[in-house]
Amino acid sequence: DIVMTQTPLSSPVTLGQPASISCRSSQSLVHYDGNTYLSWLQQRPGQPPRLLIYKISNRFSGVPDRFSGSGAGTDFTLKISRVEAEDVGVYYCMQTTQFLTFGGGTKVEIK
């Protein structure tokens, strides 16, 4: 199974400042079809998960452009350019190159 490791576990951020979350996979996420199926989810308190980014860097429908994804192979990053109050929650990376596994989550909170 592919293991996904996220850092940090918690990220206290000042409103309007950037935030960055890292995700590392235990093996390459490049699929035999050439795509890399790495996505990012946001889960606000008491809410279901919401897809933010798919295939490393593609924003899902309705996602603000302050969210961006990057990376390749086994190392990936989610960046929030300017954190807003509504961004508080837990963020998960997930891979669907080989079935589906999730990272352990990173809690974004306001300082």
CB-based contacts of 58-67 (< 8 A; 24+ apart in sequence): 67/40
Residues contributing to the site for other proteins (CB under 8 A): 35, 37, 39, 41, 48-51, 54-55, 60, 92, 94, 96, 99-105
Name the minimum Å distance from CB 91 to other proteins.
Answer: 11
Name the minimum Å distance from CB 105 to other proteins.
Answer: 5
- For residues 6 and 74, which CB has a smaller minimum distance to other proteins in the complex? 6
- For residues 13 and 54, which CB has a smaller minimum distance to other proteins in the complex? 54
- The single-letter DSSP state of residue 47 is S
Name the minimum Å distance from CB 71 to other proteins.
Answer: 16
Buried b (16+ CB within 10 A) or exposed e, 26-45: eeebeeeeeebbbbbbbeee
Q: Tell me how far apart the alpha carbons of residues 70 and 72 are, in angstroms, rounded to a whole number.
A: 7
- For residues 9 and 15, which CB has a smaller minimum distance to other proteins in the complex? 9
